[in-house]
Chain A
């Protein structure tokens, strides 16, 4: 559905602010009289708090106040949950342990806040930490997911009597029967370990209580301004309208910025109301690693049953999922794992079981991919082990089992994070695989180039995987579009923006529908003072859900403009069209009225307004899909491994992707490239490493390695397929997480392929040269499996 704007690589309108340093980010906000908050955090991951004495801190010049849990009285309480328990899934067990704002009696993760210091500057607030005397009784830490469920394990939440946070089983068909009939059953233990979102901008919060107006204004770099507003209002006993949450420009989200009911948003408004001064808190990088959410951290016992021809009969996956010390975000991440394990394949029998476990690490919530990468990693690895066992080519076994387009929409029988059945709505999965194979020259590489390279002693390998990506889930989003007297069009919506270009892509949709110049469309995102219904920016849903709402609202305005224009210009409606900001008569453009003048006329200062008519040229529209839209694709890569040092260079990276109708190809490609770089990071560079005391050893960029420019593939190619989604009028699907999901399994396959003579088996991600060395040695010593 390409048009004048939709489908065009329109340059982003917001760039000029960002490029000149004029864009306002959270820490750029300074209010008169503003104070600074800092959190004293626990070093111990598991300990009883015996005493916190902050009297000396209060005597330090520049310190205004210090609070611990006791000081908040009844205001201190856990929760609420941000995502409800999965009651939609029969037989599910869920032990709700929402976040607590600040530690009381006990700490459960290293970095948990013990006290909050309010001072004239962040420097002084940190000085005051030295004044605070903390006595704790350390307890044994829980870090291993399986050991955590053993009867003698220390308990994170004693009142539960267990560290089991949740147990959810979903089944399709009967796996045991399928396995009994299979020619081959392959079982593996697969580990997908933890990584951070590590957006370049850390989290922050500014709050100002206006005592006279009884209004609270919050600035937060949040992905969910409306839920945040509602949570703050509810906790403080205010009307929602008394709280305004404004999102400035946000320096990357990737998931963790969606969390609410954390120390900052719970405690700082309460403090601001009492001190009657604005308060700012900005997280530093160490805090971001310790106490902002992160993700992955699953142990899978997976198996696949096939015929000797490589046809999948069934898949079984029992996995442990680390939720960390609390479970405020429900089952979102592991449910995504469940829906994405069978991914793009025809798997008639499927058993999947989540054992969600509490540990002494910080909480796991979605990070770009949000559980989907784990499911895809497990499935793609199982396919690779099956291919090896059956002596089939990895591309061949995939082609054999991919769902054919005729089978779509395909009801998977697995309920997803949105509590509805995951339906693969549209697409041509084999076409994506075929196209990726063509783009990378798969057959030529495998048959001709690789044998030649191997004869030369080189270790180059190829990997090819398939994936699906659930996007654009509900519940809904909304927009309000208003044509101003100056003819310019203003769109406001509740979702916020962290770099996805909503200011431009939403404008494209509106400009297309209203036939106005794109520079005349202004977009405001994430300010609850402008718009206060919606859920937030996550799960690759922004452009699809808000975009569809924008399309609806723009359509309403278009229809009204035509109706009013017809009346005003005295011609039938089918003679009216919109062009360049004007309502004109078809074939007679000299007869027109501008949209702006029409809007003014529709808002009279005198006269009678007909019943049922709304003023101006304005429309509100909401959109909620029946279920998510599934993007999909295939990734192929060629790597070169130095077997002496086990360093890996990605020479070529090919991704074929289908996200339906593309609104802005620049933005879509940008999302794919960014996702790929995070996926590469998750494959070979990034890992959050905890020791046996649940101390985070990688709490800075010195140890947590972020991919650099020289780590990127030498040559990247993106191929597109575009199967419009049947779920919304524009046919859009999301794309934000596409690059991140398939990269780790493609990397693993390619490296195994490169080191085929070593015979090593990769059953974990992320990897490192040192880990590969260890695996190679294991393989040589005949261990492994």
Chain B
């Protein structure tokens, strides 16, 4: 057994302290150590995007980070976006536009999109397509996801 490390990190605004093996992937740490199972594992080689989280505010693959590397950093997962009672505009828009079917890839899309919708108040279809190009969806064919992002930005602009 290799040496274990104590890490302190903030996840969804809450501080955690845990002791981990260096090889423990951040995705597994979030899911099984912190019971934040909204982040999903699809490939473990960084391509499908289901495991995307925000690391210091930037979307990254949690399957390509070790938990030890998150020590001292700020992580946000899909659980921070909204609750059933109070959904984020992106989540509302996904529901309205039928932008999810099995829902397995959805948290990864949402976290990839959070900074995008915040910095692109009026994205073109092309920009949206490029923004989601790093997330794979097997069910929807992406059309409704693009429509949902457009609707979400409209909602967010209206709420300003």
Contact = CB atoms under 8 A, between A and B. Distances in A.
Contacts of A261: none
A667 B98 CA distance: 8
B45 A700 contact: yes
Query: Interface residues of A: mostly helix, strand, loop or mixed?
Result: loop
Contact of A15 (B38, B95, B137): B95
Contact of A252 (B82, B84, B138): B138
Interface in B99-120: 100-107, 110
A448 interface: no
A23 B107 CA distance: 11
Given A19-B103, A201-B104, A499-B103, A709 B132 contact: yes
Contact of A674 (B21, B39, B94, B101): B101
Nearest to B78: A21
A200 B133 contact: no
Interface string A367-397: 0000000000000000000000000000000
Interface in A11-29: 11-12, 14-25, 27-28
Given A11-B96, A12-B98, A674-B139, A20 B45 contact: no
B38 A249 contact: no
Contacts of B77: 21
B153 interface: no
Range of interface residues on A (Cβ < 8 Å) = 35 or more
A27 B91 contact: no
Interface in B40-61: 40-45, 47-48, 50
Interface string A660-678: 0000001101100111111
A716 interface: yes
Most buried by A among B35, B36, B102, B132: B102
Interface in A44-76: 61
A200 B84 contact: no
B103 A15 contact: yes
Given A21-B78, A200-B136, A712-B141, A666 B50 contact: no
A673 B140 contact: yes
B87 interface: yes
A220 B133 CA distance: 30
Nearest to A14: B103
Assign chain B's interface to a size class.
35 or more
A21 B94 contact: no
Contact of B36 (A21, A61, A284): A21
A61 B50 CA distance: 32
Given A28-B37, A709-B146, A251 B104 contact: yes
B38 A706 contact: no
A250 B105 CA distance: 11
A20 B98 contact: no
Contact of B50 (A11, A200, A675): A200
Contacts of A254: 138
Contacts of A667: 98
A710 interface: yes
B144 interface: yes
Interface string A183-218: 000000000000000111110000000000000000
Contacts of A22: 38, 79, 84
Interface of B: 1, 21, 23-24, 31-32, 35-45, 47-48, 50, 77-79, 81-84, 87, 91, 94-96, 98, 100-107, 110, 129-130, 132-146
Given A20-B38, A501-B101, A670-B98, 19 more contacts: A15-B100, A15-B103, A18-B103, A19-B103, A20-B78, A20-B87, A21-B79, A30-B35, A123-B23, A123-B24, A201-B40, A201-B102, A251-B105, A285-B42, A674-B140, A678-B138, A700-B47, A706-B48, A716-B143
